[in-house]
Structure 1
Amino acid sequence: MHDAVIIDAVRTPVGRHGGALAAVRPDDMAALVIRELVRRTGVDPALVEEVYLGCANQAGEDNRNVARMATLLAGLPQHVAAVTFNRLCASGLNAINQAARAIKAGEGDVFIAGGVESMSRAPYSLPKAERGYPWGNITGYDTTLGWRFPNPRMEAMFPLEQMGETAENIYALSCDATGPLAGGPISREEQDAFALESQRKAVAAIRDGRFRDEITPVEIPQRKGAPVIVDTDEHPRYRRNAAGEVELDTSLEQLARLRPAFRKDGTVTAGNASGINDGAAALLLTSSDKARELGLQPLVRIVASAAAGVDPRTMGLGPVPATRKALARAGLTMDDIGLIEINEAFAVQSLACMR
């Protein structure tokens, strides 16, 4: 079995919903990071076996295999194949894992993997009638987030809850003294404090330039004048002081004033939940042998990966069994791990996984 390594990674800034990147098509965003990744690494694009991209929506300009569209738009040779994966929030990570598995299996030595999403440009969707001019009303769906065209059989099996409601279900689970989450209720105060710390870390990283090398600026053409260059994440809540430096623009007091977003007496708010964003990222993965041959310096070696299914009503607990599976595959324990990163969909979900 071959070793799979990551050589480099490029991303756009993270744009707010309706923000600076709302004018950019997702296939163009994905093409931008692919093109920049090839330029930065100096790898011959003809060596790329496949491009794997994750995309959760695929209802608009990101439809019909956006990975292939972006590969062609980026100028890669036509013989470079591409495929789009959808594992919802984990789509981009799944693309990276699949590329690593292909390398380990000997199916190629050079892959580009990543993801793209434009929630700002997610379209409205209408069902097509089974026959022309039917009686009655039809339901349209905003494809930005949540269910669309739900199967009645699925609705009979599980409530059609929004992601935020599944986070509230995790909070309720933490209140169950006989449940799997030891330590008592994950309070609103604990969630807000955790969310604030995440905001603080993100703003500090922006201020200190820690993201500068991984971000490729996005050029937004204007009707008149020079294009606008977007090179900084929009999403952490920050402001610029008189010196132009970024500062955290929220506090525990401000977070405490926010109303619950999903349930009347709930704990999940806009302040302790993840945002609605736009962006794209691309990574270069190779076998360790090919990296040596091309004179490329790996950043990391991918040892193992895993996915696991859980009760859809508490979907945010999925990282727990997935982590256990990945550790078992790698022959490691938690004591061997020096740094852990978890996708903070909701503060309550991250805190529950940590427990």
Structure 2
Amino acid sequence: MRQKLFYMLLIVMFVASGIAHYGGAANLVQLVLACIAVIFAAGFLGKATESVAHYSGERLGGFLNATFGNAAELIIAIILIKDAIFHDEPKLFDMVKASVTGSIIGNMLLVLGLSVLAGGLKFKVQNFNPKLAAHNASLMMLAVIALFVPAVFAKQLSPAHTETFSIIVAVILIVAYLLWLYFSMVTHKDELADEAVEHGEALWSKRTSILFLALATVMVAFVSEWLVGTLDTFSETFGLSELFVGAFVIAIIGNAAEHSAAVMLAMKNKIGAAVEIAIGSSLQIALFVAPVLVIVSFFMGNTMNIVFTAYELVAIGVAAFIAKSISQDGSTNWYEGVLLLAVYLILGIAFYLV
């Protein structure tokens, strides 16, 4: 009965949000309906991910969730880049970079923090593969270095050289990320696998699970785009800066799918999948999505450089440092979740006041 009610509300809110968007309803109405719809769509994506993980294993299931969840954010960012280039609004590049920053810190601090806290309140200690944790920590450092170096050297480079350097760094990061996937899921798959956890019955068959995963991603992408369309009015109404809107509002919307799935999995003692969703998604944003956006902008005719502001670099560095400290031993507890959320709140307040 509860499942039927959930799916009925999912369809109703998705359709209502679409009608409000395409029917030109008031921005506030669009915002409220889209927010509710994205919560249900994210919940649907979480259920689909859990079902896929039943057949594919926690690591691959978590990776698929992070990938499908980030697909929505990639779509939003490409739309913003297109508007920046074709409508000559270079400030939208800054919003894209802020949303990348927000996604990285949001996944490392908010998603991981909520997952660790929720799982830790139910299970005293939760464990996952320490070797995977160590590799994730190294990749976090690579992400920080790759974003820090261009920002430092950009001051001494011409705009043309900065764009060229950004493209080169983007290609290097994409290659490094693809090699990491080959390393972690092919050559060293067994070493980085988590211990088997009882999964129980899958919600759907393997084929249906994959179909619903794709469908849920499409729904999240549509609702996210509708929601982004209301952000200008939202930011003007509440006097929010583009940096805050990009780093926190858009990022939280884009990460809604990861929030839902990671917390649900952690509460079922599947912390390995939750960590893969949270940290894996951050790494995917930093090492793959951001570089892809640079390359996409290049082919659109106006390259978005990979130079981030000092505020954004500090936020990413702080998030990577605390996430590395907490996750590197391969075990978590509820208080570590509190620490992650505390850092996220501190950064949120700082970005709001800037």
Structure of higher RCO (CA pairs closer than 8 Å, 6+ residues apart): 2
Name which one, 1 or 2, has greater alpha-carbon Rg: 1
- Superposition TM-score, scaled by structure 1 size: 0.26
* Structure with greater strand percent: 1
What TM-score results when the alignment is normalised by the length of structure 2? Answer: 0.26
| Higher helix proportion | 2
